[in-house]
């Protein structure tokens, strides 16, 4: 028998054209995608965010109507105080020490020397404010808030309308019946230049969404 020379018989690898390589790459990618999809489907769902995290990112809008009574100094004379406004809570302001809700309100007050609801002299105030809402211990139904406002007060009934700067600070509590309805109860300190300072006790309804 004649010995075979290994040099005469060399193995030649099959040559693959570009179309074959592209087909193999597509198959490999498809298998990888199917594997990744199946793995993700079997993974447990992510836990819901903690209540504190959800609260910090939530926003809400409040519409409020708050009738009340001024107690003018001197003498604690009662006068009608009717307040209506709207506020919006911003989630990114939850940790702000001054406030997390921006408000705009209109207030009518009886500026006469007599009567309760109305005289020919009126006080009309448009004010911007910032409100800080905070939780109270051992309850979720009642929350507290502080409210700082500044704006313009116009006195009517005189030959010319008199405009004055208004400043008000309030401390209050909100009673929540559900996510949309509640009652605000507050006591506020008010100061207008050329007018003695006075306090206002108010209770009102608020609708939130």
d(CA 171, CA 65) in angstroms, rounded, equals: 17
Higher pLDDT, 106 or 71: 106
**Per the structure, how many domains does the chain have?**
1
Quick check: is 28 in a domain? Answer: no
Query: pLDDT digit string (tens) for 147-179?
Result: 999 999 999 999 999 999 999 999 999 999 998
Quick check: is 42 in a domain? Answer: no
Checking if the pLDDT of 29 tops 60, the result is no
Question: What's the pLDDT at 162?
Answer: 94
Quick check: is 82 in a domain? Answer: yes
Query: pLDDT digit string (tens) for 105-148?
Result: 999 998 877 778 888 899 999 999 999 999 999 998 999 999 99
Band (4; pLDDT cuts 50, 70, 90): very low
Lowest mean pLDDT among 27-36, 44-53, 198-207: 44-53
Q: What is the CATH number of the domain that holds 127?
A: 2.40.160.20
Phi-psi region of 194 (alpha: psi -120 to 50; beta: other; left: phi over 0): left
Quick check: is 2 in a domain? Answer: no
Beta bridge partners of 148: 130, 169
Question: What's the pLDDT at 143?
Answer: 95
Quick check: is 21 in a domain? Answer: no
Quick check: is 173 in a domain? Answer: yes
Q: Which domain, by its residues, includes 175?
A: 55-208
């Amino acid at each position: 028998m004649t010995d075979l020379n290994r040099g005469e018989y060399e193995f030649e690898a099959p040559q693959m054209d570009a179309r074959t390589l592209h087909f193999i790459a597509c198959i490999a990618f498809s298998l990888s995608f199917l594997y990744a999809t199946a793995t993700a489907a079997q993974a447990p769902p992510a836990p819901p965010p903690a209540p504190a995290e959800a609260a910090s990112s939530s926003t809400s809008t409040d519409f409020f109507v708050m009738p009340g009574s001024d107690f003018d100094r001197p003498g604690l004379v009662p006068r009608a105080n009717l307040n209506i406004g709207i506020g919006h809570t911003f989630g990114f302001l939850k940790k702000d020490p001054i406030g997390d809700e921006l408000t705009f309100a209109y207030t009518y007050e009886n500026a006469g020397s007599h009567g309760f609801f109305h005289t020919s002299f009126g006080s009309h105030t448009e004010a911007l404010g910032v409100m800080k809402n905070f939780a109270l211990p051992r309850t979720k139904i009642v929350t507290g808030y502080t409210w700082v406002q500044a704006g313009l007060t116009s006195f009517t009934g005189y030959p010319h309308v008199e405009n004055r700067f208004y400043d008000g600070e309030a401390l209050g509590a909100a009673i929540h019946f559900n996510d949309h309805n509640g009652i605000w109860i507050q006591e506020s300190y008010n100061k207008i230049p050329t007018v003695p300072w006075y306090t206002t006790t108010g209770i009102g309804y608020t609708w939130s969404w």
